[in-house]
Amino acid sequence: MDTTKGKKTLNQELWLLLITVLAMFVVTFVVSSAFISQKERYDYEIRESETMINGVSGSISSSIGTLKNLSRLVMLNDAAVKFLRAKEYTVGDINDARYGVMDVMNATSNLDSIFIFRNDGGYMNTGKGRYIVDFELMEDYPWRNNILKERGGAIIMVNAGGAITRRNEETIITIARAIYDINSQKLTGILLMNFSTSMLDEAINSQGDKNLCIVTSDGEYLSGDEGMCGYFATEFLTDTIVHKMVDINGEKVMISGYQIPDTPLVVMSFTDSNINVMSNTTMYAMLSMVLVFIIAMILAANFITRNITKPIADLTGAIELTKKSGYLEKLNVKVPDNEIGTLSDSYNGMVDHVNQLFGELIEKEKSVQRAEMDALHEQIKPHFLYNTLETIGYMALSDGADDVHEALETLGSFYRNFLSKGEHDIPLSREISIIKDYLAIQKLRYGDVINDEYDIADNVLDWQIPKLILQPVVENSIYHGIRLKGEEGLIKITGYEEDGDLHLIVYDSGLGMEQDVIDKMLSTEPKDDKMEKEHSDVAKHLLSGFGLRGTIERVRYFCGRDDVVKIRSEVGEYAEIEFIIPSRHN
């Protein structure tokens, strides 16, 4: 490979890119200067409006928070509590409650009045003026439910949601709470605390700016510059500040708005845009930065050529030579001691790791093959053949040649399917044939003690699965489940497809397994022989033998995952093993 040619092309592309960037930068600088100036002015207006709005809303929220705390004191006032608890009350009780509540009102000058309504319609108030109370509205479900759904929490309303108005038509802001008895937690009444808009005036005056206005969520004027009400928009009914550009006397002006959280109050501001936020000094500074940028680009291009493009070209050439050699080998090329050097070291480390993984994969494949050979050996070993042949010999003496012929046919079919011509994966239908032949042979020995059932969906019969994953489980069900239980038992094989995966379930009505045995059986940790000695003989065999545990390892290896095996059991009742074969293996 001609690495020199590759390096030259990379450098040409780098310098072409540099010239293009410089040209674009110079062309866009003039245009962007005007844009930046406008953007700076816009950002300045946003900052100013947000500062004013946040200041006003923060002051109002703080004042409302103080009043909410006072409302808690009102609800706990002894005279008010007595008034609410009384089954029958007198004028004296009302006055006592009024005087008790007025003591709390003296803590602030913003409160206009306090109303406490009992459940039976009775009420007391400390109003400084005269009010009109709409009792019919207060009895309506929507009005009451709006307060009661807060379960004692405070809500903010204008003119108590229409339930209370001043006769002089001045607007009031209301803090409403449902009152619950501190002992029984039963609803005893409703508290309405009213404060005048003077608190809003104080919040606006604290900002020292007249370009502010406070309205209700319906756009009704409350405080500040009343002329701004005409620019109210529903976009302002949000808990984030919204900015709009409007045309006032032929000039574009920014109007900003924001609804104070958990209140019907909207703060609006007008920001003066007739201000120059970018000075000549700033422009000169920007031009100087452009010049510095051009010089820096030239220096950077030289640095990149010397420390990046050339080393990358050398690395690419070395990798290409390695690829052509057909072997995964480390690179032996001189590169700078920087990120490029780290890249070279990482590649060499990856080569070592990949080679190590190849070795581990080969060993794991050998381990799986040994496990399959162990499965074959379990059934080919002499004692299984001896027991089966002995049973057939007994049948020859007692039952006649026809039964012997059928038994030999079953044994031959079993081993023919069992060996499967050395295949690793077989169709589910063949695995089921192995199970049926195996159980037919076992029934020769145990007679009617073993019953078997099959519920296999037709659409999964051709599904490819690892050979001999059901037979060891069935064998385990016989020898460590049904046979030890000493009574007639059932083995049921179920197979179906769900969400694209094959589910295979082996159920037996044998002795079952204890939960700690199941946990160790499903564990991905190496076997702990010392811990297994603490279990019963059956549990020891389950944990130490090939059968179930070896089969679980084979299924996990086949699927490439650990969560493909489930065991459900109840000691003395049943055991159920489920394998989940992902669809990509179909």
Please give the angle made by the CA atoms of 303, 304 and 307, to the nearest 5 degrees.
80
Q: What is the pLDDT of residue 311?
A: 72
Sheet holding 489-498, edge to edge: 450-456, 489-498, 501-508, 574-581, 565-570
Q: Report which DSSP code applies to 171.
A: -
3-state secondary structure of 351: helix
CATH number for the domain formed by residue range(s) 44-271:
3.30.450.20
Give the separation between CA 565 and CA 583, rounded to whole angstroms.
Answer: 15
Structure tokens that stand for 178 in this block: 């449902």
Tokens of 468: 């001999």
pTM here is 0.44
Q: Do 513 and 521 form a contact (C-beta atoms < 8 A)?
A: yes
Return the DSSP state at 449: G
Helix (H) or strand (E) holding 445: helix 428-446
Q: What is the pLDDT of residue 545?
A: 45
The superfamily in CATH containing domain 425-585 is: Histidine kinase-like ATPase, C-terminal domain (3.30.565.10)
521: Cβ–Cβ under 8 A, 6 or more apart, which residues? 513, 542, 543, 548, 549, 552, 567
Judged by phi (left if over 0) then psi (alpha if -120 to 50, else beta), residue 282 lies in alpha
CA distance 406 to 81: 95
Pairing of strands 450-456, 489-498: parallel
Strand partners, 214: 223, 267
Q: ∠ at Cα 286 (283, 292), nearest 5°?
A: 150
Cα separation of 377 and 380, whole Å? 5
Q: Is 586 exposed, middle or buried (0-12, 13-18, 19+ CB in 10 A)?
A: middle
Specify which residues 243 forms β-bridges with: 256
Burial of 132 (0-12, 13-18, 19+ CB in 10 A): exposed
**Burial status of residue 364 (CB atoms within 10 A of its CB: 0-12, 13-18, 19 or more):** exposed
Q: Domain ranges for the chain, please list them.
A: 44-271, 425-585
Give me the phi and psi of 106, to 5 degrees please. -65, -10
Packing angle, helices 339-380 and 547-559, rounded to 10: 140
Instruction: Write a three-state SS string for 504-573.
Output: EEEEECCCCCCHHHHHHHHCCCCCCHHHHCCCCHHHHHHHHCCHHHHHHHHHHHHHCCCCCEEEEEECCC
Tokens, residue 570: 């109840």
Q: What angle do CA 566, 568, 573 make, to 5 degrees?
A: 155
pLDDT tens digits for the chain (586 residues)? 444 444 455 666 777 777 887 778 777 777 777 777 777 777 888 888 888 889 889 988 888 888 888 888 888 888 888 998 888 888 888 888 888 888 888 777 778 889 999 988 888 888 756 788 898 898 888 998 999 998 889 999 999 989 998 888 888 899 999 999 888 889 999 999 988 888 888 888 888 767 899 999 999 999 988 888 888 999 999 989 999 888 877 778 889 999 999 899 999 998 766 555 555 666 677 777 777 877 877 777 777 777 777 677 666 766 766 666 655 666 666 767 676 667 767 777 776 776 677 666 666 665 555 555 555 545 444 445 556 655 665 565 565 555 665 665 666 666 555 555 556 788 999 899 888 888 888 887 777 788 999 999 999 999 999 888 898 899 889 888 898 888 899 999 999 999 999 999 999 999 999 999 888 888 877 655 554 455 555 555 555 444 688 788 888 888 888 889 999 999 999 999 999 998 754 5
Rounded Cα–Cα distance for residues 235 and 226 (Å): 19
- Concatenated DSSP letters of 191-249: EEEEEETHHHHHHHHTTT-SSEEEEETT--EEEE-GGGGGG--GGG-SSS-EEEEEEET
Q: What is the pLDDT of residue 4?
A: 47
Q: Under a CB-based contact definition with an 8 Å cutoff, are residues 552 and 521 in contact?
A: yes
Nearest C-alpha neighbor of 83 from the set 127, 105, 116: 116
Distance CA 88, CA 86 (A): 5
